[in-house]
Structure 1
Amino acid sequence: MRNDVQTSQRTSPGTSPSTPERQDTSRYSDATLTPPVDVIEDANGITLYADLPGVNRDKLHLQVESDTLTIEAQADISVPEGLTSSHTEVGLARFRRVFTLSKELDTERVSAELAQGVLTLRIPKAQHAQPRRIEVQAA
């Protein structure tokens, strides 16, 4: 797999520690964070582990088009009831990561699971890329 990643810029929130609460969230809407991803390859395919803290399943969008895998998610990290934030750098986090997948992978059989802020994606190798034993005939 070629791990081509579209880079995303994180914009500065423009708040200072002395600001008691962030009132205007419009300047955060374009900020995109690049989630850290671990890629593990074995004989049967690859497994990607992406850290997406605060993301719920309904705010997660996964797409495979041709040989491109796109992960997009949105987290709404709220302040617990009864507390007030004195400084917030990540309040409404948008995550985006793009990968170019090898033709050896079967993008029709991708499976995904989201648990405790970690997305696990399993992409098996295509049948033509699976190791197979070749039987030798006696002459």
Structure 2
Amino acid sequence: MAERKEIAPREETVVSARKRVRAMVPPVDVYETDDGLILLADMPGVSKDTLDLKVEDNVLYLKGTIVETPGEEVSPEYVEVRGREYFRAFTLGPEFDQDKIEATFSQGVLRLFIPKHEAEKPRKIEIKVA
């Protein structure tokens, strides 16, 4: 049986213009189908305009900046969300077609479809009667 191939998460630190900041890691669910992977990332507070996706050197980068803030004149009494950015990176295996990745974003959830190359997809072998 062949070894199951998946994308591998990577930890990163985001460097801002002011200082080195540890970005929040969005929770991600990954589902495998015969055609590829479906990746769902929760990024509440991020808008489509502040979301940045790219693939570079077989690494898929997800970065989103939270846009809704109460204002600088307000000081928080209690805070659970400490960062202003989400960041996550995944190393993609050679079985995935990086040129055909599809992304949709709705209500703070990023959905990526990462297709497999045709040669990597399972195929049914036809049996002929002799």
- TM-score, normalised to structure 2, is 0.76
Q: Is the 8 A contact 1:69 1:98 kept in 2?
A: yes
RMSD over aligned CA atoms reads: 2.7
2:89 alignment partner, SS class? strand
Gaps spanning 5+ residues in structure 1: where?
A: 10-25
Deviations 1:3-46 (CA, angstroms, capped at 9, x unpaired): 4322257xxxxxxxxxxxxxxxx988723111110000011100
- Match among 78, 84, 89 for residue 87 of structure 1: 78
Q: How does 1:50-61 map to 2 (within 5 A)?
A: 50-61=41-52
Q: Matched residues in 2 for 1:28 and 1:114: separation?
A: 29
Residue of structure 2 in register with 1:15 after alignment: none
Q: Is the 8 A contact 1:53 1:117 kept in 2?
A: yes
Q: Is the 8 A contact 1:49 1:118 kept in 2?
A: yes
Cα separation, partners in 2 of 1:2 and 1:135, compared to 1, 3 Å? closer
Q: Matched residues in 2 for 1:109 and 1:63: separation?
A: 12
Cα separation, partners in 2 of 1:88 and 1:76, compared to 1, 3 Å? farther
Residue of structure 2 in register with 1:20 after alignment: none
Q: Matched residues in 2 for 1:60 and 1:134: separation?
A: 42
- TM-score, normalised to structure 1, is 0.72
Residue of structure 1 in register with 2:62 after alignment: 71
Q: Is the 8 A contact 1:44 1:130 kept in 2?
A: yes
Gaps spanning 5+ residues in structure 2: where?
A: none
Cα separation, partners in 2 of 1:107 and 1:8, compared to 1, 3 Å? closer
1:128 alignment partner, SS class? helix
Residue of structure 1 in register with 2:53 after alignment: 62
Cα separation, partners in 2 of 1:6 and 1:131, compared to 1, 3 Å? closer
Residue of structure 2 in register with 1:5 after alignment: 9
